[in-house]
Amino acid sequence: MMQNKRYCQLNNYKLVTYSQAWAYQRSLVAERINNPSLNDVLILLEHPPVYTLGTGSTLDFLKFDPQVSDFEIHRTERGGEVTYHCPNQLVGYPILNLRYYQQDLHWYLRQLEEVIIKTLAQYDLKAYRLPELTGVWLEGKKVAAIGIKVRRWITMHGFALNVCPNMSGFEQIIPCGIANKPVGSLAEFISDITVDQVRVKVAEAFAEVFQVELIEHNYESATLKAII
């Protein structure tokens, strides 16, 4: 359990390629393995259109042939099946040292879900979990996907919240391998909602759930290229 409130650097980016964000996460994890006293980091950003697969994901959930497709696809070290990222979907990558919280991956997944649930509660939306399934649902539709990797108790990857994206990209896959439950977005429930509005509320909920003090940094995407 966490004894004292920790500082967490909040890095806000706009549109960042998946490869850049992935490399950045790995660099942050490596730094914290070498120096566990470093502050935690929460990265909030959007990605250009991209499909990602978890380490053990099956290609059966793709509705296209990845060998001849023009879609950008990455197989990553996170858990979970295939998912889709695109602009106007808010993606969060927490780099946390769970030794300062709880060394329990199920606890961590439930905390990430709680961040989304509390975020949506700020819009008077009653989001919820489903037993045996990771993620967050709203009126029968999955609005947030979660997939993580933990190395020496340092976390990477994280969550994706559909704010107001073009949902057509999800039609090319069986999202998260769940064929009988549709995906949805917050725009179906709140008109004129934007990612910039939601990222503020996600940060507030994250600070509350994990009991951290956020140190905010806002960057242009070009800054991330310089870092990695």
User: Which pLDDT tens digit goes with each residue over 152-202?
Assistant: 999 999 999 999 999 999 999 998 888 888 999 999 999 999 999 999 999
- What is the set of active-site residues? 176
Cα–chain center distance at 98: 17
User: Please, which pLDDT band fits residue 5 given cuts at 50, 70 and 90?
Assistant: confident
User: Which pLDDT tens digit goes with each residue over 115-161?
Assistant: 999 999 999 999 999 998 999 999 999 999 999 999 999 999 999 99
Q: Which residue has the higher pLDDT, 179 or 113?
A: 113
Q: Are 85 and 18 spatial neighbours (Cβ–Cβ below 8 Å)?
A: yes
- Quote the CA–CA distance of 208 and 162 in Å, as a whole number: 21
Query: What pLDDT, on the 0 to 100 scale, is given for residue 56?
Result: 87
Residue 64 has pLDDT above 60, yes or no: yes
Q: Are 161 and 171 spatial neighbours (Cβ–Cβ below 8 Å)?
A: no
- Quote the CA–CA distance of 174 and 62 in Å, as a whole number: 7
- Quote the CA–CA distance of 120 and 25 in Å, as a whole number: 26
Residue 93 has pLDDT above 70, yes or no: yes
What tokens does 177 get? Answer: 């391998």
Tell me the helix, strand and coil percentages in the chain, rounded to 5: 35, 30, 35
Q: Are 153 and 98 spatial neighbours (Cβ–Cβ below 8 Å)?
A: yes
What number of helices (H) and strands (E) belong to the chain?
Answer: 4, 11
Query: What pLDDT, on the 0 to 100 scale, is given for residue 228?
Result: 52
Query: What pLDDT, on the 0 to 100 scale, is given for residue 1?
Result: 47
Query: What pLDDT, on the 0 to 100 scale, is given for residue 220?
Result: 63
Residue 85 has pLDDT above 90, yes or no: yes
CB count within 10 Å of CB 30 equals 12
Q: Are 185 and 165 spatial neighbours (Cβ–Cβ below 8 Å)?
A: yes
Identify the CA nearest to 17 among candidates 55, 54, 41, 52: 52
Q: Which domains does the chain have, with CATH numbers?
A: 6-219 (3.30.930.10)
User: Please, which pLDDT band fits residue 224 given cuts at 50, 70 and 90?
Assistant: low
Strand order across the beta sheet in which 83-85 lies: 73-75, 50-53, 83-85
User: Which pLDDT tens digit goes with each residue over 17-50?
Assistant: 999 999 999 999 999 999 999 999 999 999 999 9
Which residues face 62 on adjacent strands? 173
